[in-house]
Amino acid sequence: MAPELIVGLSLACVAVGALIAWLAMRPLATRTRAEEQVKAAAAIAVLEERLAARDREIAGMRTGIESAEAERQGLTERLATEAERRAKAESTAARVGDLERELDERQARLEAAHGEVARVQTALAELQARGEEERKAVAEQRVLLDEARARLADAFKALSADALQANNQQFLALARTALGTFQAEARGDLESRQ
Digit-coded pLDDT (tens) for 121-135: 999 999 999 989 999
- In this structure, whether the domain defined by 3-193 belongs to CATH 3.40.190.10 is answered with no
State which of 7-11, 57-61, 83-87 shows the largest mean pLDDT: 57-61
Whole-number average pLDDT of the chain = 82
- So what's the pLDDT on residue 36? 78
Tens-digit pLDDT profile for residues 86-105: 777 667 755 667 778 888 99
Collapsing DSSP states into helix, strand and coil, what is residue 71? helix
CA distances from 91 to 86, 100, 101, 102, 162 (A): 9, 13, 17, 17, 103
Tens-digit pLDDT profile for residues 9-53: 777 777 777 777 766 676 666 666 767 777 888 888 888 888 888
**87: Cα within 13 Å, side-chain hemisphere:** 5
CA distances from 182 to 1, 12, 172 (A): 9, 18, 15
Burial class (CB in 10 A: 0-12, 13-18, 19+), 46: exposed
- So what's the pLDDT on residue 22? 67
Q: Nearest Cα to 170, choosing from 19, 25, 24, 10? A: 10
Confidence at 62, pLDDT banded by 50, 70, 90: confident
